[in-house]
């Protein structure tokens, strides 16, 4: 990042460390948000859409897509909660900060209510601030989206800091993975989680905080009759199961599903329904951190594009809203009571083709048999880089979009 005499005016370049980009481009992030808005507008309005929507984890990925679909697909008032770093000392803000500035700018230009709260969504303080805002500006909410992904959680009752892990349970896990920096396919071995790591991961990524949010909203009388709440999860293919579905994070996701049943039961007098939506593998900041997943996603993209069924976050969430939750639809649930928006990914034809490529992929043929180029492009776009029509040589103000 090249900085001029004014510390907030900079030429910003991507600086990647492992699975994260430590810079973000304000103009590029705004362009990325605009592209998602344009997609939703092109699809057309969603009938019987929610009117007052709370999105927990609203600044990136599936949470941001939910905000865009609710706002521009259903004309909803949206209140977003997230934790993002602001620009400081010549450093850029995090991408979610710029995404939010852009969403609010575009929403307000069309007369849509859009407010945001930046802070620790696990805390009682942020819950109270959110409830105050709902009471003041919205009255009650009819949809709560739970899309939080965090490596740590400070428990609001005890003050204990818990950390999540991406580890298998019971045995060492070895598989292929992709070093995205060096573009090298290699083997990775991960030691199993101990009991403490497993329980801590459930505390961070399980359903307790979702349930605490819903209890707080119920106690404050901030939920409409017949409101809906949905949390996002993932199952994925067998190749990822040892570290995901059957690993420590899988225990947390199972806890999330238990919370859905508990929430529906505790709020049945208001006819509130809680769902877990199983979404497809996409490029997000969270998924990029999971060993094996970037390689799997690179292969999956190639196969799904060949079958003309590729989707990113915005396509997934528009389909969730328009074909499952709203437009007069009743959600189609699997045997475990979950919504399955990963149906296209998990199509046996798609998975068989990916399994075949998985057995063949190597460093030498990575670019030929996978769509790693698209993975890399989508990864950079998360941070506002690689968007068409953006002049990345021009200095930009890091404090605004």
Each as own residue / partner, the long-range contacts of residues 174-180 (CB below 8 Å, 24 or more positions apart, any chain) are: 175/239, 175/242, 175/243, 175/291, 175/292, 176/292, 176/295, 176/358, 176/361, 177/291, 177/292, 177/294, 177/295, 178/294, 178/295, 178/298, 178/366, 178/372, 180/19, 180/288, 180/294, 180/375, 180/376, 180/379
Residues labelled as active-site residues: 244
Enumerate the H helices of 273-393 as residue ranges.
293-306, 313-320, 348-360, 366-369, 372-381
All residues at 6 or more sequence positions from 280 whose CB lies less than 8 Å from its CB, including other chains: 234, 311, 316, 341, 342, 344, 345
Q: Name the token pair of 87.
A: 């620009």
Give the whole-angstrom CA distance, residue 260 versus residue 29.
33
Give the whole-angstrom CA distance, residue 227 versus residue 53.
10
Give the whole-angstrom CA distance, residue 110 versus residue 58.
19
The answer to whether 107 and 193 have CB atoms below 8 angstroms apart is no
Give the whole-angstrom CA distance, residue 295 versus residue 292.
6
CA nearest neighbour of 24 among 91, 105, 101: 91
Q: For residue 113, count CB atoms less than 10 angstroms from its CB and return exposed for 0-12, middle for 13-18, buried for 19 or more.
A: middle
Q: For residue 6, count CB atoms less than 10 angstroms from its CB and return exposed for 0-12, middle for 13-18, buried for 19 or more.
A: exposed
CA nearest neighbour of 397 among 101, 96, 118, 84: 101
């Amino acid at each position: 990042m090249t900085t001029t005499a004014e510390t907030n005016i900079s030429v910003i370049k991507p600086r990647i460390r492992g699975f994260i980009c430590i810079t973000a481009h304000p103009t590029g992030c705004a362009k990325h948000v605009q592209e998602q808005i344009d997609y939703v507008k092109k699809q057309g309005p969603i009938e019987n859409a929610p009117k007052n929507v709370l999105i927990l984890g609203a600044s990136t990925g599936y949470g941001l897509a939910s905000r865009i679909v609710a706002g521009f697909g259903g004309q909803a008032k949206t209140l977003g909660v997230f934790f993002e770093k602001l620009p400081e000392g010549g450093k850029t803000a995090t991408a979610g900060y710029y995404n939010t500035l852009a969403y609010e700018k575009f929403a307000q230009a069309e007369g849509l209510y859009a407010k945001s709260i930046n802070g620790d969504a696990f805390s009682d303080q942020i819950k109270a601030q959110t409830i105050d805002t709902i009471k003041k500006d919205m009255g009650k909410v009819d949809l709560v989206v739970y899309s939080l992904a965090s490596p740590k959680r400070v428990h609001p009752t005890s003050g204990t800091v818990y950390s999540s892990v991406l580890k298998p349970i019971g045995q060492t896990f070895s598989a292929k993975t992709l070093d995205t920096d060096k573009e090298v396919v290699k083997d990775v071995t991960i030691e199993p989680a101990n009991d403490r790591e497993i329980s801590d991961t459930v505390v961070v990524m399980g359903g307790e905080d979702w349930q605490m949010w819903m209890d707080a909203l119920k106690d404050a009388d901030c939920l409409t009759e017949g409101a809906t709440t949905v949390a996002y999860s993932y199952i994925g293919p067998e190749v990822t199961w040892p570290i995901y579905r059957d690993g420590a994070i899988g225990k947390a996701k199972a806890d999330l599903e238990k919370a859905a049943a508990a929430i529906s039961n505790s709020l049945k007098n208001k006819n509130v329904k809680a769902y877990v939506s199983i979404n497809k593998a996409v490029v997000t900041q969270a998924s990029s951190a999971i060993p094996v997943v970037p390689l799997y996603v690179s292969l999956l993209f190639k196969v799904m594009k060949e079958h003309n069924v590729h989707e990113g976050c915005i396509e997934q969430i528009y389909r969730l809203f328009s074909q499952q939750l709203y437009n007069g639809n009743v959600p189609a649930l699997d045997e475990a009571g979950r919504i399955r928006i990963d149906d296209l990914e998990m199509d046996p034809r798609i998975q068989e083709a990916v399994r075949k490529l998985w057995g063949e992929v190597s460093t030498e043929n990575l670019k030929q048999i996978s769509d790693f180029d698209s993975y890399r492009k989508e990864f950079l776009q998360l941070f506002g880089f690689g968007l068409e029509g953006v002049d990345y040589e021009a200095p930009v103000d890091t404090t605004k979009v």
